[in-house]
Amino acid sequence: MRPGVAFVSALFAALLASSAAWAANDDDMGERTNEVISTIAADLKVLELSDVPSDLNLSADTLEFELESRRLLCRGNVVVTQGDTKLEADTLTVTGAAPPKRTGRKIQAVGNVRISRGTERASGELADYNQDQATFVLSGNAALGSGESSVRGETVVFHIDEGHAVIVGGDEPVKAVIEIEALPEEEDE
């Protein structure tokens, strides 16, 4: 088991061990704990934030896992890091896919959402990832940036499979600042 998953697993094992509902039978509690840990590890794979394989680290004021609905809820000072990628939010909800299907995974970050990777950054009040629709939506004063270049609008919709994004202004027009030095030079043929 990767150390980042082991960290999260240990947190959930401690949470479950303290629950009176699970304490009825030591063997049953051990089986349920292993089931929860396995489920969490499988569902957290959807949170892979980096192209480079590395541990995923998650911290929050509270973590709650609902086994039946396969829902992980993180509240307060949520920070997820993997490699040089960092996601911060007030709350984070990860809904896993129920076996045997692998569809239905969703991630939602709410409140003061900030995502950074090197010089790239994104922010807004709400971030939604929907695996089935292959979309990532950032809304609520959404902003994207890379180096000195940036774009701001009410909503940014990334169509992952199609490889394009749509920025909508809402009450205000979309605003962009483009760093000229960052533009690729045209090659002469």
Is residue 187 a part of any domain in this protein?
Answer: no
Distance CA 8, CA 71 (A): 14
Mean pLDDT, rounded, of the chain = 75
Is residue 68 a part of any domain in this protein?
Answer: yes
Count of structural domains within the chain: 1
The per-residue pLDDT for 38 is: 65
Max distance between CA atoms of the chain, in angstroms, equals: 75
Enter the pTM of the model: 0.69
Q: Which residue has the tokens 């949470």?
A: 15
Helix ranges (H only) for the chain are 3-17, 26-44
Distance CA 13, CA 23 (A): 12
Is residue 135 a part of any domain in this protein?
Answer: yes
Is residue 163 a part of any domain in this protein?
Answer: yes
pLDDT in tens, 119-139: 888 899 999 888 778 888 999
CATH for 156: 2.60.450.10
pLDDT in tens, 66-85: 877 778 899 999 998 888 88
- Per the structure, the complete domain to which residue 140 belongs is given by 57-182
Higher local confidence (pLDDT), 139 or 26 = 139
